[in-house]
Chain A
């Protein structure tokens, strides 16, 4: 079974939204299906391969947490801090990540099918082999991101600044790029400077 070590659990405020027993369950069993951990401070937690299907983690602090291989399908991570978190190979299908900070997160091989990433911060994130088909990426920040062999087919990139990115190996079939900005962007059809 998986080893769960919660490094820094801070119960600072008395108005905690989540149930402490659920957090204990997550610690003991490595799973916490549909549980309420909204606003929890799980900074740097080792949640590798944890089953958090449908968990409510909105506003949670997961900065630097290890969620590699975790099941976060349908989870609510809106507004969560996932900066520098490891989400490689994580299942984030249909997850709500709007407004979340994924700055410098490792999303290599993560599955973000139809995930809601509206206005999320993906700056410096590694999205190598990440699957984002049908994902809603309107208004996300993607400066310095790595998209090698990633899939963005059918995704919505309206209002996204794609300047200086290398998308040469990224699948873009039917991706909504009409409102995206291309400037020094490396694409399968060459350098695109239409938005410079």
Chain B
């Protein structure tokens, strides 16, 4: 190991601190400071912490690894600027134009980017913890694996944005437009997404535990294997969405529109789906143990092999539903409409059927509440 004396170390430190080997072009820096504008100039590693660059024009500027902490960049024009690894924590970027800018690995923690134009910008791996992006334009922007913990993304326009693998724990996405956005594997634990638009978005494998999605639009979204445990989907529109393999444990989804959804192998135990519309849903092999389905519409739903033990289906409509081999032990079907439902090999042991309408239902190999097997509807 090389040993240095205190004097040598001090000398080395002085050299390192006084080193004029700054990466930026000094003329460009002075020009930028005087004019508050500089096209495609070289400002790499420039120390601009706290600088007033508001309404500055820096298109295509090279600000890689620049120190822009607390800088005022409000309404600045930075299209196609290179800001990779720049430190912009606490900076004011309200209304800034950053279209197509490269902000990879940039530090934007606590930055204010309200109304900023970030269309097509590259923000992969950026640190946006606690950043404010209210009403920012993020169409086609890339935020892959970026950290947006606690960020305010209310009312953002982020159609086709890529947020895959991003961390959005506790983030505010109220009324955000994320139509067709790619959010696979994103962590949205406890995110506030009331009235957010996620139609046709891809959220496969995302974590949405305790997320608030009340009245959100998830029409036709890809929600395979998404964990919605204890999430709020009350009055949300999920029609046509693919929820196969999703976890909706203790999820509140009363009044939700789940028409034509795919819930194959999904787990919905203890979920509240009362009054929800599951018309034509494909829910084969799904687990709805002890789920609340009071007054739910399951017309033509495919529940082949589904587990509905102890589920509350009071007053539910199951017309033409396929309950072949479904487990309904201890389920409450009082007043439920099961007209022409297929209950072949279904298990109704201990189920309540008071006032249930079983007109035309197929009972073949069906275990009745009494435990007896009914084969009256078997076709030879």
Task: Show the binding face of A for B, using Cβ within 8 Å.
Answer: 172-175, 177-178, 187-190
CA distance A59 to B220 in the complex (A): 70
Instruction: Report the nearest B residue to A191, measured CB to CB.
Output: B27
Q: Which residues of A contact B57 (CB under 8 A)?
A: 174
Decide: B34 and A174 in contact? CB cutoff 8 A.
no
Smallest CB separation, A165 vs chain B (Å): 14
Asked if B194 lies at the interface with its beta carbon under 8 angstroms from chain A, I say no
Decide: B36 and A173 in contact? CB cutoff 8 A.
yes
Decide: A189 and B37 in contact? CB cutoff 8 A.
no
Instruction: Report the nearest A residue to B57, measured CB to CB.
Output: A174
Instruction: Report the nearest A residue to B55, measured CB to CB.
Output: A174
Instruction: Report the nearest B residue to A171, measured CB to CB.
Output: B34
Q: Which residues of A contact B35 (CB under 8 A)?
A: 172-175, 177
Q: Which residues of A contact B55 (CB under 8 A)?
A: 174
Residues 27-54 of chain B, each 1 if its beta carbon lies under 8 Å from chain A, else 0: 1001101111101000000000000000
Q: Which 6 A-B pairs have the closest CB atoms?
A: A189-B30, A188-B34, A189-B31, A173-B36, A174-B36, A172-B35
Decide: A189 and B27 in contact? CB cutoff 8 A.
yes
Show 5 residue pairs from A and B whose CB-CB distance is below 8 angstroms, ordered by the A residue: A172-B34, A174-B36, A174-B55, A175-B35, A188-B31
Q: Which residues of B contact A173 (CB under 8 A)?
A: 34-36
Asked if B56 lies at the interface with its beta carbon under 8 angstroms from chain A, I say yes
Smallest CB separation, B191 vs chain A (Å): 39
Smallest CB separation, A45 vs chain B (Å): 39
Instruction: Report the nearest B residue to A167, measured CB to CB.
Output: B34
Name the residue in B30, B35, B55 with the highest tally of chain A Cβ atoms < 10 Å from its Cβ. Answer: B35
Decide: A187 and B34 in contact? CB cutoff 8 A.
yes
Decide: B56 and A189 in contact? CB cutoff 8 A.
no
Decide: A174 and B27 in contact? CB cutoff 8 A.
no
Q: Which residues of A contact B30 (CB under 8 A)?
A: 188-190
Q: Which residues of A contact B39 (CB under 8 A)?
A: 178
Smallest CB separation, A24 vs chain B (Å): 48
Decide: A187 and B36 in contact? CB cutoff 8 A.
no
Q: Which residues of B contact A187 (CB under 8 A)?
A: 31, 34
Contact of B56 among A172, A174, A178, A190 (CB under 8 A): A174
Smallest CB separation, A137 vs chain B (Å): 15
Q: Which residues of A contact B31 (CB under 8 A)?
A: 187-189
Smallest CB separation, B27 vs chain A (Å): 5
Instruction: Report the nearest B residue to A188, measured CB to CB.
Output: B34
Smallest CB separation, B270 vs chain A (Å): 61
Decide: A189 and B36 in contact? CB cutoff 8 A.
no
CA distance A50 to B3 in the complex (A): 80
Residues 117-151 of chain B, each 1 if its beta carbon lies under 8 Å from chain A, else 0: 00000000000000000000000000000000000
